């Protein structure tokens, strides 16, 4: 690319950490975190100390007992988050948690419930919402950490264990499973620069989404989207949250949007819009006709697609528009899952066959200064898409597909395998409340690999919006650069990734996470990297729990210096990883 500096003689990141925190500086200072813990992930893009440099929030989850993600349990998991602020007169960061919160760690869930971990990938970038100029943080907490659930209706052993963990089954259809519930909260700034944890005035709930809705210039509501069928809303006014759930129960269409797993809220043309996945029969005006095809993410009477709502304070949610794929885009195929073969529902999106598609992850942003804002939607398919040399291949009725990415286990080839960590990314304009498809690609190649979290920001100061993504599983520093025409190209960090021996523990024994972003005032891409930890592993002498350190490495490369990784190369890497019989397929280690 033009304008690149000669970087052939230096590494992309400094080999010596600019900032470093040992376990003893973090979890070791928290009394309830002397047992196994996970560094859940990190977010940036906010400036808590107002010096025009990004700060970082690292989410640490402390399990109150050893376990693993293959076991059903109700072990409490307490947050012990840390905030790292930029030094005013240097490029370094320091742990500013005590300074900002008055305590060593940020326990966003308290100790009277099951605790919880944040869904960082669907968390909005922190911004000022109370008028003091400082960023505020809202998020959803839950305990969905990958362990198996309870099939209590069909499995007596599950029912017996759930009774031991949660008590007798409640009446009236209320949710029984207490093992994924969390209290909800928000981190709210004060005018003096300090922060408080504001608890929501509800009992704990199994939630996967929360949106902020503006009621007037001085207050806002947080509206919970949860799996328990509970309408939960809290209004912030005068420094406190008030429970307004009863008010929301009477709102128009609150029953239609409740229970959706992922949501987004934003303002456009003075209208507060909300996006939810799927389209109900009531909204579409007709029932779907998908025959006998099965979809894991559709409730009875729902169409594939998504719904755009307009929020009117005091009234409720009015349908603004909705999107349903054309009939000719719908298909079905045979999919083997869990030892049985299903007739699985799919839809072609951007000419890509997607099995069990879900319009889950939404962001509203501007990619070009002179272009209208766009609603960007990233798929989270439960079935998946074909990749590699079989990308966009026509669906075959005579093939039984698998979405197990480990060929040694499934016995399938690349043409018979679906990858559910990949999905199309599409965009729509909203013009006078109506959806209009953007024809220009959001991502080069139209597919994102393992990028459920999308954080849009200008990383190189060229006035074009770039993208930092949060990957599922082991967080990686995936970054996309705007080509100046409104399409994002994947930055080729893989080729320049640092050696990780410096992490103090074996990479095979402990996973690591990373966040690549701007953390100082230059145009170089910095890297925060950490040992992830685990719920039942240990390191050190006598099996003591010391999960390793957290580092910030100073960047030597600008975004342009890395070059880009084409979508074609991404498909080659996925197929190569899939075809290597000696390695277990790891979604965060093949492409990032």
SS3 at position 345: strand
186-196: pLDDT as tens digits: 999 999 999 99
Name the band, by pLDDT with cuts 50, 70 and 90, for residue 535.
low
Instruction: Work out the average pLDDT over 341-361.
Output: 96
Residue at token pair 């970054």: 479
Pairwise CA distance, residues 273 & 266, whole Å: 5
Residue 503 pLDDT > 80: no
CA 475, 536, 58: angle at the middle one, nearest 5? 35
174-188: pLDDT as tens digits: 889 999 999 999 999
Name the band, by pLDDT with cuts 50, 70 and 90, for residue 3.
very low
Instruction: Work out the average pLDDT over 525-531.
Output: 91
139-173: pLDDT as tens digits: 999 998 888 999 999 999 999 999 999 999 998 77
Residue at token pair 């965009």: 427
Nearest Cα residue to 274 out of 286, 262, 283, 288: 262
Residue 538 pLDDT > 50: no
Q: Distance of alpha carbon 223 from its chain centroid, rounded?
A: 18
Pairwise CA distance, residues 484 & 260, whole Å: 35
270-288: pLDDT as tens digits: 999 999 999 999 999 999 9
What pLDDT does residue 272 have?
97
Nearest Cα residue to 386 out of 360, 355, 358: 355
87-132: pLDDT as tens digits: 988 999 999 999 999 999 999 999 888 999 999 989 999 999 999 9
Please, what is the average pLDDT of the chain?
A: 90
Find the farthest-apart pair of alpha carbons in the chain and give their distance in angstroms, rounded: 69
Both tokens of 301, joined, read: 């009477």
Give the β-pairing of 400-402 and 330-337. Answer: parallel
What pLDDT does residue 320 have?
99
Whole-number CA gyration radius for the chain: 23
Residue 583 pLDDT > 70: no
What pLDDT does residue 356 have?
96
238 burial type by CB count under 10 A (0-12 exposed, 13-18 middle, 19+ buried):
exposed
Reduced 3-state DSSP string for 199-221: ECCCCCECEEEEEEEECCCCCEE
Q: What percent of the chain has pLDDT over 70?
A: 92
Name the band, by pLDDT with cuts 50, 70 and 90, for residue 2.
very low
- Judged by phi (left if over 0) then psi (alpha if -120 to 50, else beta), residue 52 lies in left
Q: Give the range with max mean pLDDT: 171-175, 338-342, 578-582.
A: 338-342
Q: How many helices (H) and strands (E) does the chain have?
A: 9, 36
Pairwise CA distance, residues 354 & 304, whole Å: 11
Better-scored residue on pLDDT, 389 or 589: 389
What is the pTM (predicted TM-score) of this model?
Answer: 0.93
The long-range contacts involving 534-542, CB below 8 angstroms and separated by at least 24 positions, are 534/36, 534/38, 534/510, 535/36, 535/38, 535/63, 535/66, 535/67, 535/68, 535/69, 536/36, 536/66, 536/67, 536/68, 537/36, 537/509, 537/510, 538/36, 539/505, 539/509, 539/510
Residue at token pair 């990028």: 451
What pLDDT does residue 457 have?
94
Residue 54 pLDDT > 90: yes
CA 385, 388, 393: angle at the middle one, nearest 5? 55
């Amino acid at each position: 690319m033009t304008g690149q500096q000669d970087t052939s003689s230096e590494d992309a990141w400094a080999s010596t950490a600019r900032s470093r925190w040992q376990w003893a500086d973090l979890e070791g200072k928290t009394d309830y975190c002397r047992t196994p813990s996970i560094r859940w992930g990190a977010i940036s893009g906010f400036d808590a100390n107002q010096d025009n440099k990004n700060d970082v929030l690292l989410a640490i989850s402390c399990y109150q007992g050893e376990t693993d993600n293959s076991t059903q349990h109700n072990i409490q998991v307490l947050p012990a988050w840390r905030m790292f602020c930029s030094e005013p007169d240097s490029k370094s960061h320091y742990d500013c948690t005590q300074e900002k919160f008055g305590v060593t760690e940020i326990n966003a869930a308290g100790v009277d419930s099951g605790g919880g971990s944040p869904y960082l990938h669907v968390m909005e970038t922190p911004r000022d919402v109370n008028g003091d100029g400082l960023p505020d943080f809202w998020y959803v907490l839950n305990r969905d950490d990958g362990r198996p659930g309870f099939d209590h209706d069909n499995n007596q052993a599950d029912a017996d264990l759930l009774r031991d963990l949660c008590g007798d089954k409640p009446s009236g259809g209320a949710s029984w499973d207490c093992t994924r519930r969390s209290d909800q909260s928000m981190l709210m700034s004060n005018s003096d620069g300090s922060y408080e944890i504001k608890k929501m005035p509800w009992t704990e709930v199994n939630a996967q989404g929360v949106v902020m809705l503006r009621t007037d210039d001085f207050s806002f509501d947080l509206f919970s989207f949860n799996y328990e069928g509970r309408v939960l809303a809290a209004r912030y006014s005068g420094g406190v949250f008030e429970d307004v759930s009863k008010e929301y129960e009477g709102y128009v269409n609150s029953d239609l949007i409740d229970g959706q797993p992922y949501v987004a809220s934003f303002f456009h043309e003075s209208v507060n819009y909300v996006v939810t996945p799927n389209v109900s029969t009531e909204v579409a005006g007709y029932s779907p006709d998908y025959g006998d095809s099965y979809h894991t993410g559709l409730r009875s009477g729902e169409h594939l697609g998504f719904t755009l709502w307009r929020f009117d304070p005091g009234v409720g949610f009015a349908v603004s528009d909705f999107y349903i794929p054309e009939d000719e885009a719908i298909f079905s195929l045979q999919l083997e899952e869990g030892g049985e073969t299903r007739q699985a529902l799919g839809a072609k999106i951007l000419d890509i066959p997607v099995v069990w598609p879900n319009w889950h992850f939404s962001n509203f942003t501007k990619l070009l200064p002179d272009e209208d804002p766009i609603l960007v939607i990233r798929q989270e398919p439960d079935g998946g898409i074909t990749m590699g040399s079989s990308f966009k291949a026509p669906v075959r009725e005579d093939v039984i597909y698998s979405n197990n990415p480990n060929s040694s286990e499934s016995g399938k080839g690349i043409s018979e395998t679906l990858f559910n960590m990949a999905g199309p990314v599409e965009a729509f304009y909203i013009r006078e409340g109506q959806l209009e498809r953007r024809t220009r690609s959001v991502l080069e190649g139209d597919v994102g690999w393992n990028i459920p979290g999308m954080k849009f920001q200008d990383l190189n100061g060229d006035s074009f919006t770039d993208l930092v993504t949060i990957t599922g599983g082991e967080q990686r520093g995936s970054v996309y650069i705007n080509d100046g025409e409104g399409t994002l190209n994947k930055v080729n960090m893989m080729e320049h990734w640092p050696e990780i021996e410096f992490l103090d523990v074996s990479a095979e024994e402990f996973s690591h996470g990373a966040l690549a972003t701007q953390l100082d005032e230059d145009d170089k891409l910095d890297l925060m990297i950490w040992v992830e930890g685990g719920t039942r592993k240990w390191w050190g002498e006598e099996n003591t729990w010391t999960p390793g350190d957290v580092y910030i490495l100073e960047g030597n490369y600008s975004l342009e210096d890395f070059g880009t990784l084409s979508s074609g190369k991404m498909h080659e890497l996925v197929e190569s990883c899939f075809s290597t019989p000696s390695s277990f397929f790891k979604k965060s280690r093949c492409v990032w």
